Chains A and B, each alone.
Chain A
Amino acid sequence: MKNKKIKKTGGAVLSSSDRFFEIITYAFLLLIVIIVAYPLYYVLIASLSDPYDVYAGKTFFLPSQFTLEGYKRVFQESAIAVGYINSIYYTVLGTAVSVALIITSAYALSKKNLPFRKVIMIFYVITMYFGGGLIPTYLVVSKTGLMNSVWALILPGGVAVYNVIVARTFFENSIPEDLYEAAQIDGSSNIGTFIRIALPLAKPIIAVMVIFTMVGYWNDWFTALIYMGEKSKYPLQLALRQILIQSQATATMIGNMDGGYAEANRVTELIKFASIVVGSVPMLIAYPFVQKYFEKGFMAGAVKG
């Protein structure tokens, strides 16, 4: 709105000082965009190049000796393939459970005349600022028999309180009370009203919650590190840890190697770039779809923290 107006009235007649200011602005923006985007671009072209050329500094702008070997190796890598499947499973299940918890809790807590609403709110908010810490939580999780189970990644996180507050603010401010009353008069039960009236209207906030939660699960590695003892249950991020952080050639790589140590090294380097691309692409593709809701979500959370 605002931008359109400015364009109409002031777009054509920029004074010389405004023009200068605009040029400076765009120059800074361009610089920032390059700083942010270039490392990602570099990884992309390096993943398509010969590793020796990458390390010889020949891939600043374009791939050198274009090759898809890195990607071929990545997909042959059993640790990554298994990690990928695990991560998809954990992310889908985890997002479904967490978002359901967030939305149902937020909806119930948005009812202003619900008895004990304040008490329940305080009960949740306390967990934002105080917790048992690493070891007591770990001990409870293992006592409840969740070790090596997907539920160890989902249940201990419980209810994401900050997100509940954001969603609750949305329900309070963006859905008119009259709609609920009308449904009530038509004889709809409270849960019926929730499913038929509130949920369809809450699509924007559900979209934001889905993307935030999804990114959280996809990128999580620490919970899996402490609760998943078996390597076959590692999510993708932990498979990447071995390659990226510990810089180890995996069993598959060494097993398939005829060229000995040097060759194994070359493949480890080659696979690094491709695995970064493969590991981050799903989330990078997903977020632009809900980008327009980000501002709304943030404002809702900021108003009533």
Chain B
Amino acid sequence: MRKEERAAALKPPGKNLGKRIIKHWEFYLLLLPGIVLTVIYKYIPMYGVQIAFRDYNAVDGFWGSAWVGLKWFEKFFTNYRSFRMIKNTVLLSLYSLLWSFPIPIFMALLVNQVRHKKFQRTVQTILYAPHFISVMILCGMLRIFLSPYGGLINAVISLFGGNGNVNYIDQASSFRTIYISSGIWQDAGWGMIIYLATLAGVDASLHEAAKVDGASAWQRMIHIDIPALIPIIVIQLIMSFGSLMSVGFDKAFLLQTDLNKEASEIIATYVYDQGMLKAMYSFSTAVGLFNTAVNLVLLTCVNKICKKLSNVSFI
């Protein structure tokens, strides 16, 4: 294979490239449907993002509508709610990251300690389960559990003598706690897969040697398992910082009520509200574009740091 490539590189490129393309026509045929779909539904909308700088109307379309420059961005930044939205978006994902990042690592270390294979599998099966439940159902469960009329949480609290009639869903101050803890419940088990896979790859002879030297199980976890996880932990951490502004729309939207907007209104829900419900197409696109831009900047920075620290880049 490699010889052929080298030989190919020596020949005049034009003719040869044509030949190679023809030789591979079947592979292009396999790629064609995906490429066509991506052009239509990903790249044309990317081109259409310019309506953020135009006053979109259906007749003139993406490129015919009047150019208005930064009008929509100005409108967004002069709105008193914008600051709150940006703050909510950043805080929600920052707190999510801080709280939910360490737990899967801790869980993976625990599950890895289990020596009985079958039992380990069963524990894994149970811990993965919530990941397969839809956000819709999760939010439905939250609403039931947190209801002031006999919801599970209130029932347990009143069992211990507390106030069992709190309407948590409508409380802005509870929103982030609900959002983050339910996120941990749903995805911590799923998040541990990558760490478990890494731990399974740790050389068994390391543990054997440590045992011969009299290391306890605790010492082996601290000195063998955790160091083995460090590289992947760094990569995962850096990657999650890159997606700081792309906090999940679904749960924020489904847990939002008129009363908790103080904390639950994030950029993504606002984009939906303005675009789909109020049909302010250009304005909504501008707000969305702002969010994407911040994300891209974060991601590029993080990727640079990542490259410097660990020689791994993910773009």
Contacts and interface: CB of A to CB of B under 8 A. Distances in A.
Interface of A: 1-7, 9-11, 15, 17-18, 21-22, 25-26, 28-29, 32-33, 35-37, 39-40, 42-43, 54-57, 101, 104-105, 107-109, 111-115, 120, 123-125, 127, 129-141, 144, 155-159, 164, 177, 189-191, 194, 215, 218-219, 221-222, 226, 237, 240-241, 243-245, 247, 272-273, 276, 279-280, 283-284, 286-288, 291, 294-296, 298-299, 302, 305
Contact of B49 (A125, A136, A279): A136
A-B pairs, 5 with minimum CB distance: A132-B45, A244-B140, A55-B150, A136-B48, A219-B134
25 contacts: A2-B204, A2-B207, A4-B117, A7-B115, A9-B208, A10-B211, A17-B216, A104-B34, A111-B24, A115-B20, A115-B21, A120-B35, A124-B38, A132-B45, A134-B288, A135-B281, A141-B41, A158-B42, A194-B30, A219-B134, A276-B137, A291-B124, A294-B128, A302-B232, A302-B235
B292 to A, nearest CB: 6
Contacts of B20: 113, 115
Interface stretch (B76-84, B87-95, B172-180, B190-198): B190-198
Contacts of B117: 3-4
B111 A29 contact: yes
Given A36-B127, A132-B42, A245-B143, A115 B288 contact: no
B305 to A, nearest CB: 16
A190 B294 CA distance: 44
Nearest to A238: B136
A6 B204 contact: yes
B123 interface: yes
A34 to B, nearest CB: 10
A17 B218 contact: yes
Interface centre among B115, B120, B254 (most CB of A within 10 A): B115
Interface in B226-265: 232, 235, 249-250, 254
Given A120-B35, A189-B26, A177 B1 contact: yes
B139 A22 contact: no
Interface centre among A7, A245, A298 (most CB of B within 10 A): A245
A100 B211 CA distance: 49
A22 B113 contact: yes
A159 B140 contact: no
Contacts of A115: 17, 20-21, 24
A104 B35 CA distance: 11
B5 A113 contact: yes
B67 interface: no
B200 interface: yes
A247 B170 CA distance: 14
A11 B211 CA distance: 12
Given A134-B284, A237-B134, 17 more contacts: A1-B204, A6-B207, A21-B216, A28-B110, A36-B127, A37-B129, A134-B288, A139-B281, A140-B48, A159-B34, A159-B38, A221-B135, A237-B136, A237-B137, A245-B140, A284-B133, A286-B132
A105 B275 CA distance: 33
B10 interface: no
A190 B285 contact: no
B44 interface: yes
Contact of B189 (A36, A105, A241): A36
A244 B42 contact: no
A145 B314 CA distance: 36
Interface centre among B130, B137, B235, B271 (most CB of A within 10 A): B137
B306 to A, nearest CB: 11
A134 B276 contact: yes
A247 B143 contact: yes
Contacts of B155: 57
A156 B29 CA distance: 20
Interface of B: 1, 4-5, 17, 20-21, 24, 26-31, 33-35, 37-38, 40-49, 51, 62, 107, 110-111, 113-115, 117, 120-121, 123-130, 132-137, 139-141, 143-145, 149-150, 152, 155, 159, 185, 189, 193-194, 196-197, 200, 202, 204, 207-208, 211, 216-218, 232, 235, 249-250, 254, 271-272, 275-276, 281, 284-285, 288-289, 292, 295-296, 299, 314-315
Interface centre among A115, A155, A156, A291 (most CB of B within 10 A): A115
Contacts of B62: 136, 139
Contacts of A215: 132
A287 B135 CA distance: 17
B37 A298 contact: no
B30 A133 contact: no
B107 A39 contact: no
Contacts of A284: 129, 132-133
Contacts of B30: 104-105, 107-108, 191, 194
Contacts of B129: 36-37, 40, 284, 287
Given A134-B271, A138-B276, A226-B276, A33 B127 contact: yes
Given A124-B38, A298-B193, A244 B292 contact: no
Nearest to B155: A57
A134 B123 CA distance: 39
B197 A299 contact: yes
Nearest to B22: A115
Contacts of B48: 132, 136, 139-140
B127 to A, nearest CB: 6
Contacts of A105: 30-31, 34
A81 B186 CA distance: 27
Contacts of A2: 200, 202, 204, 207
B134 A111 contact: no
Given A101-B33, A284-B132, A25 B113 contact: yes
